[in-house]
Structures are given as structure tokens and as C-alpha cells.
Structure 1
Amino acid sequence: MSESLTGIIPPLVTPFTADGEIDEAAYRAEVRFMLTKGVNGLCVGGSTGEGHTLSTEELVRLVGVCIEEVNGAVPVVAGIIVNSTRDAIAKAKAMAHLPVAALQVTPVHYVFKPDEDATYAHFEALASATAFPIIIYNVVPWNYLPPPLLVRIMKGMDQVIGVKQSAGDLKLMADLLNARLPGKIVLTAVDALLYPSFALGAHGTIAANPAAVPGVTVSLWNAVQSGDHARAKEIHTALLSFWNTINGDNLPACVKYALTRQGCPCGLPRMPMPAPSAAQKAAIDAALAQVLVYDTTVGRAAA
């Protein structure tokens, strides 16, 4: 299963209406838009998708709709962002009827931090309660799991098929890759450094840049895989400038704006997240004009 979860796997944003309800029509159109960009998979309910705000019912519906729209074309990963083992198991069980390729699961993310044995037990309990493969979403700043613990979990649980590294320290990524665990994957969410992550051997990415400019990140991935590092470096330079315009506390809202500017309207963020400011929009527009020249799919119609 892990072998299919490689390449560019954008985390879908969740389009909301002005009253905070899911805009399903816009969401379906977003899935179709992503498929025109040649992505290798899709992730539902991640942090870019404001997954921390979704009820279990909303998450299950969004995952089901995504699976329906892709119709087997690419694998679908489901995000779980909760604060207890009990809630993680409940969300996983609610999706048991769906052909989900893997779960992307954060460590608990409230103020209190479990020790390493408790964290191990958290993922062990989840693995025992569901048949889905699990990817650890290593993103929580005050509960950031070090490489030795991640390796311990992956070695101890066949069902934990990999890690999504989301900190800015490329050495931690390199340490995980250097562990060389057979059958396991290391995905990067170090948005500013996707190119060096790919060059080091990361198996793919689930991150905000792929969500905002999927065609560009597909071009970057393809350039690295073909050994065209001169082109990859050129794309990286433009992509980094773009990243600097969307990175912030309202990142999902900025990703939605970037997609809307590409002809894929993605609604509003869910309160209390603010929409992009006028200054943010102007910066995103300018950076988009530079980075989208690397999207070879521009102009391709959605199916």
C-alpha cells in the first residue's frame, strides 16, 4: 500500500460558505481540478483542509465524496486531527466502510504532552482498532516526535507505513531517510524546501504548496525524478517566493485564494480564521504570475 503513496499528494482545502457550512459543489470541482494537474493522490481533512474544525460526520462525507470523484484514479488519504486516542479510533472506525489508502494522524495537539511510551501506545491502540495503514503527521510544535521515536514506532508496527515530516529542519528529514526502513515512506511537508527534500530521497509530499499550486509541484517532482536539477532549482526559486506569500496563521485561507485565482473557487475559511488581507492578495497575485509558468497543465479543462 505504501508504494502507491508517493509523489504529489495535495491536501485538499475545504470550501466553506459564509455561514460556515461545507460547499460540496465547490469541493467536488476542486477534486476534479486537482486531477487535471496530474497529482499522485489526494488528502482530505489535513491542516490545510482545516481538518481540526471538522466533525466526524463532515470528515466522513468529505472523504466519501473525494473517493467518489476520483473514481479510483488516485489514492485518497484521510486526516485525523484530534486530542485523544478514543477520538482518533472513533474517526477511523467511522470511515471503515470507505476504501481509504491510509490515515494521516497527528500526535495529540493540545497543551499537555504525553511521554514517548504514551505516544507509542496511542498509535499502537489506533493500529489495533483499524485496518487502515497509518502515516504519522509529525507537525505539532510542542509534541514534535524525534526521529528515534518515529523509527521505533515504524519498526514496532507494520501498520504504521510512514511519516509526514512537517518541520523546517531538513536534517530531521535526512535522519529519517537515513534510517532506511524497508517498506516505509517519508513524505515531506517542509514547503520551503520541497526541492532538497525530493533530492534527498523523500518519497513525496503532502503539503500546502501542492494544495495551492499542484501543477507546479508536479513539475518540480518530475524534474527531480528525471535528474533535471537545473530546472528543479529554477522551479524551487519561484516556489519559495510563492510560499513566502501564503505562509502565515491564515494559510488555508491563502491557499483558497490562490486556487480561486487559478479558476478553482474554494470558498471561505471557517471562522474565526480570517480571509486574506488586501496586502496578502496582492503578494499572492504577484508570486502566482511568476510560479505558474512552471505549470505545464495550465489551460487544461477539468473532466
Structure 2
Amino acid sequence: MSLNLHGVIPPLVTPFDSDEHVDVELLRAEVRHHLDVGVPGLCVTGSTGDGQMLSAEASVAVARAAVEETAGAVPVVAGIVRDSTAEVIRYGLALKETGVDALQVTPVHYLFQPDEATTVDYYRRIAEATGLPIVVYNVIPYALIPAPTVLRVLNEIPSVVAVKQSGGNIHQLADLLHADPAGGTVLTAVDDLLYPAYLLGAKGAISATLTVAPELAVRQWDAVQAGDHQTALAIHNKLLPVWRSIDGPNMTVRIKAALRLQGRDGGLGASPLTPVSDAEREAIATALTAAGVTVV
């Protein structure tokens, strides 16, 4: 099973209204914004989209809106952040009905971890049950899938088409890129090291910074592909402070604040995320302005 995931694939926020229901129209507007920028793919209901907070019904509403709005122009990847194989399959089958192109699946993220054989079996069962391409989302700090296990999953399960490597920083990503798995694509989600990840061979990225500043992110990717490393490095130095300003325990509401500062509307955050402070908002505005992103 193949799916061409490459380049800048922003993970969208999930806009909530004052009752903490999904605001589908705000989501559609964000989809249109990113399509206008020219991204080659989109991701919904992942970490940036508060996927761990979403019911299956809410996840389906988000995914359906994204699929309808893209109308096949780019692939849509839908995230699942659950704690059992059965729950992931339940979400996956519901999301499949929306027409998403792939599922982005974390390992189980509760305290107790499966061993290597069980992890491989976990992704195999999900792939077989859903019949969709799978992206391994390797992000959970205390359930990080070691690089050799990721390689087994990519090479042994045809439906697993990519890994989004987030946890383990550049070190685990470097090991995966060095191995150059034939069975799938390696994407980066290490926001402060996007540029070096591209140089090491990452085929693209799915990470929060791309959502906040997609124009800069696309320009950086294009510069790397063209061998214009002076431009790519200059953009890295603009994006790094943006990432530092949104990184934190309340990251998704900081991202929404960053969108609002640009005249975009990512909706409200969901409880119990800590609201953005005035100091945090000022730091975000300062970083965006320094990066040349228009603040309104």
C-alpha cells in the first residue's frame, strides 16, 4: 500500500466553541488557508489538534470537514491517540468512513508498555482491521518505540507507509534516516531541527510550527529541495524562536493565540488546558514579528 506523504504537512488545530464543541466552519477556514499556501498534505486530530481529547464522533466531524474541504487536492491524515488496540480500531473504522487517506497512530501512552513483538502486532492488527495506510506517530516520551522496532514495523507491515518521528529528538531520527527503511517514509516532527532533519534525508515534516507559519515552512522546504541552503538556514533562524514561543504544556492554545495574532481563528481551547497568559502572547507576537509573519 502506497501513499506519497512528503514536504510540509501541517497538523491543524481543532477549533472549539464556548461549549467545547468542534467549530467545523473555523476548521474549514484553516484548511482553505493552508491549501492557498500550497501545502502537499494536511493532518487533523493529532497532538496539535487535541486528538487525545476528542471523542470518536468529534474526530469524525473534524476529519469529514477536512476531507470535504480539500476535495481530493491533497491527502488528509487523521490522528488517533488512544490506549488500546480495540479503541484505535474503533476510531480508525469510523474515520475511514470520512474518506481520510491515512491514519496517524501513536503507541499506547499509558504507563504500561508493550514489548517489541506486541508493538509490531499492534500496528499489524490496526492496519489489517482498517485497511488504511498507517503513519506511526512516535511521540510518547515514556512509551517511545525504539528505532529498531520502528524499522520492523515499516519493513514488515506493508500498510504502514511512514513514521512521524517526534520523541527522542534528532538522535532517534538520525538512526531511522541512516537505516533508510525500504518499507516506509521517515518524516520529522522535531520542530527545532526541521532544517537539519531535511539535510539528513527526512522526506518532510508534520509538526506544529508548520501550522503557525506555513508560508515560511513551505519556502524552507522548497529552498532545501533547490539546494538553496542560505535561504533554508535563514528561515530556520526565523522559525526557531516561533517554535520556542509556542512550546509548552499548553501548546495547542498557544498555537491558537499565534493564529489569532495573524487574523486567523483557531477557536478556543478545551479544559483543562491552561489559558495563554499575557506574557506568553507577547512572546508569540514578538517571535512572529521577528520572523516576518504579519501580526494584526
TM bucket normalised to smaller: over 0.9
Residue type of the alignment partner of 1:26 = L
1:1-303 to structure 2, matched below 5 A, reads 2=2, 4-167=4-167, 169-292=169-292
In the TM superposition, residue 4 of structure 1 has moved relative to its aligned partner by 2.1
In the TM superposition, residue 96 of structure 1 has moved relative to its aligned partner by 2.5
SS of alignment partner, residue 285 of structure 2: helix
Residue type of the alignment partner of 1:229 = H
CA contact (8 A) 1:213 1:292 kept: no
In the TM superposition, residue 168 of structure 1 has moved relative to its aligned partner by 5.1
SS of alignment partner, residue 292 of structure 1: coil
Render the CA deviation track for 1:6-25: whole Å, top value 9, x for unaligned: 01111110011122111112
CA contact (8 A) 1:8 1:206 kept: yes
Residue type of the alignment partner of 1:239 = L
SS of alignment partner, residue 162 of structure 1: strand
In the TM superposition, residue 291 of structure 1 has moved relative to its aligned partner by 1.4
Residue type of the alignment partner of 2:100 = V
Separation of aligned partners in 1, 2:81 and 2:144:
14
Render the CA deviation track for 1:106-163: whole Å, top value 9, x for unaligned: 0000111111122111111111201101010000001001110001111111111111
Where structure 1 has 5 or more consecutive residues not aligned to the other structure, the ranges are none
Where structure 2 has 5 or more consecutive residues not aligned to the other structure, the ranges are none
Residue type of the alignment partner of 2:103 = L
CA contact (8 A) 1:2 1:185 kept: no
Separation of aligned partners in 2, 1:219 and 1:168:
26
SS of alignment partner, residue 4 of structure 1: coil
Separation of aligned partners in 2, 1:210 and 1:46:
14
Separation of aligned partners in 1, 2:270 and 2:105:
21
Separation of aligned partners in 2, 1:183 and 1:143:
22
Count, aligned residues: 296
Separation of aligned partners in 2, 1:95 and 1:235:
35
SS of alignment partner, residue 77 of structure 1: strand
The 3 A distance-change label for structure 1 pair 281 and 168 is farther
Render the CA deviation track for 1:47-106: whole Å, top value 9, x for unaligned: 000000011011111111101001111110010100000000101111232332211000
The 3 A distance-change label for structure 1 pair 166 and 2 is farther
Residue type of the alignment partner of 1:150 = V
In the TM superposition, residue 172 of structure 1 has moved relative to its aligned partner by 1.4
CA contact (8 A) 1:16 1:267 kept: yes
Render the CA deviation track for 1:240-290: whole Å, top value 9, x for unaligned: 111111100011111111111112111111101022110000000011012
Greater relative contact order (CA < 8 Å, ≥ 6 in sequence): 1
Residue type of the alignment partner of 2:136 = I
SS of alignment partner, residue 135 of structure 1: strand
Deviates further, 132-141 or 211-220? 211-220
CA contact (8 A) 2:102 2:135 kept: yes
